[in-house]
Structure 1
């Protein structure tokens, strides 16, 4: 059963459902913009608060996440999510076999380590306030046009500059 109600003392519209099993692609509330000639937001939130303390969007869930799927691409391309899992905020991308997400970046709250991981979720060496970088799966072979590339190769921290110079900053 689905019920729509209001909370007059809170100014909220409440949609509640307990209709049983829903397919993973289903949702309690579905918003559609069906005119392909216009590129407009489907949901636009305007908040009149003056103090900036309230969240415009809040998700209360055991494993909250937001998934982004670019629908004009072929799977597994262009599927990403922002997820919270075990005190970690993660940015994930769909894996090559389209069976799960792989972590691109992870951020821990300061109270549980304050670490940042690129390509890794747990390789922090028992450190706190550290940045961990996974080994590059393929080292760069082309020079960046403007700037440089920082990478880890076999545990060593490397830098490739715009003129092609590769410098080992720190050994493994």
Structure 2
């Protein structure tokens, strides 16, 4: 795991009633300040030359890294060593995307909704699909023109919308 700057040593499966927490390291470069719950799987890893962003908060895992970062080549490697709660992934991935300069096409994407973009020199296309089993509300900025699908914010299961806008 040279690229990640860590070495995984052991993985532990937790009982259904067990959980741990990822506690942020003060001054981490992504400015994560929240603690997050982890369940199911917790990996123990040794850090060689990575920055630790979160550490386990209790039990024999305490102090081991949960989230690490290392610059590698022209990019960044992040390693998540546990099965974290959904709020963690929303926060972490949003911060990592911002760091990388990735533009989010929508401000909020509900669970089960897939959003992809395609673009050429002058037009951006937005494909929104509901792969979930329930209707979801998906707000779209007003500068998009609907090419396919409903203009209503509510998307039924298996619904698809295709939108476009000029750059």
Q: TM-score, normalised by structure 1?
A: 0.30
Higher RCO (C-alpha 8 Å, min separation 6): 2
TM-score normalised by the chain length of structure 2 = 0.30
